[in-house]
Amino acid sequence: MRRVVITGLGLVTPIGIGVDATWQALLAGKSGAGPITNFDATGYASQFACEVKDWAAAAPTWFDKRELKHYDRFLQFGVAAAMMAMDDAGFADRKVPAGEEDRWGCYIGAGLGGVETIENTHDTGRSKGPRYGFSPYFVTDIIINMVPGMVTIRTGARGPNFSHVSACSSGAHSIGEAMRLIRHGYADGMIAGGCEATITMLGVGGFNAMRAMSTRNADPAGASRPFDNDRDGFVIGEGAGVVILEELEHARARGARIYGEVRGYAAGSDAHHVTAPAPEGIGAQRCMRAALADANLAPTEIGYINAHGTSTDANDKNETAAIKAVFGDHAKQLAVSSTKSMTGHMLGAAGSVECAISALALTHGVLPPTINYTTPDPDCDLDYVPNQARPQRVDAILSNSFGFGGTNACLVLARV
């Protein structure tokens, strides 16, 4: 089987637009949470979120006025992150190599798609009627696979092009399945990741109705506190993460910078409940073990886990139990952190953003912290890299992503 490496990164996150800005904010332990500005959240149980800041000023870098007038926010995030990744990978004019167009593809997923466009069109359709209430771009602005569609139009990639929709595992599944495509010879390069923009009336209202989100309205920056005893739910986030994947020798032949190898991947199901994880994280255990086996690595060879770590009671204690079951005595030596403490939970973008963060940790030899960790939970008793980034070289990293419907995805990254 062919080896697959990461040669480009693109990030649009609540703590920074671009890879460097996001990475520096992570190392500084910066929270992206604040009062919601995207809509009037008065009366909602959760009135804060991790929004992407200053997007209106940054967006013209990647889009013209006509595009910005109608592209849904999730489309903008996903396409922009892909273009950043192409730049980072060193592709002139953000085009795949001439003559190789059929050997490049794009997998970019999301959890919910164009929710903001759906809300706005519902309002205009009701008020203006069927003749004037609908944009001709409505359908293309809400469907998730329009992100890879737009990316392939811009980059010239003519290989496989579609979206994985698997809730909070969407971005990780996209990267894992893209890696398999290259590994087994169906492509030489893939543009892969996830995006999301659901800080809207429906998104916030729906998660509030499930009582899944933090209601710490007086302290937004302190609300996302994975593994902490005082956690009270996740903080919704938005943005995108995209990586460029290439076959190792292809990357070397063009002199590409290599962040690391996607050494292993697994996907699985809890087959238990629509929202709650299986007891003791049994499904997560199976997925982690399968990813390690796919990577041909022993548990003791993993130095850091970027946890799913949502800041919910059910996830954090069950993920901790799963890590202890899989890693045994080594679990006590493992560094584990949840970058959702800073970015919030970016839903369909979470897994790909966290894969990119893991690649940066591998490259720079620094582990991002879990901020807001102040009161230990007896059920969560691992080393969560509390509150401050830690200089530490590791040779292999596991990144966990788990989603509603019991869907699980685990990625293993390693030094080349």
Which residues carry out catalysis? 168, 308, 345
Give the separation between CA 166 and CA 149, rounded to whole angstroms: 19
Burial 313-326 (b: 16+ CB within 10 A, else e): eebbbbbbbbbbbb
Give the separation between CA 265 and CA 6, rounded to whole angstroms: 14
E strand spans, 174-293: 189-196, 239-247, 260-269
Q: Are strands 4-13 and 16-17 parallel, antiparallel or unpaired?
A: antiparallel
Give the separation between CA 416 and CA 413, rounded to whole angstroms: 9
**What is the Rg, in whole angstroms, of the alpha carbon atoms belonging to the chain?**
20
Give the separation between CA 117 and CA 148, rounded to whole angstroms: 18
Contacts 24+ apart (CB under 8 A), 97-103: 97/254, 100/188, 100/189, 101/156, 101/157, 101/158, 101/159, 102/158, 102/159, 103/159, 103/187, 103/188, 103/189
Read off the DSSP letter of residue 347: G
Burial 370-391 (b: 16+ CB within 10 A, else e): bbbbeeebeebebbbbbeebbe
The alpha-helical segments, DSSP class H, found in 248-349 are 248-253, 282-295, 313-327, 340-343
3-state secondary structure of 239: strand
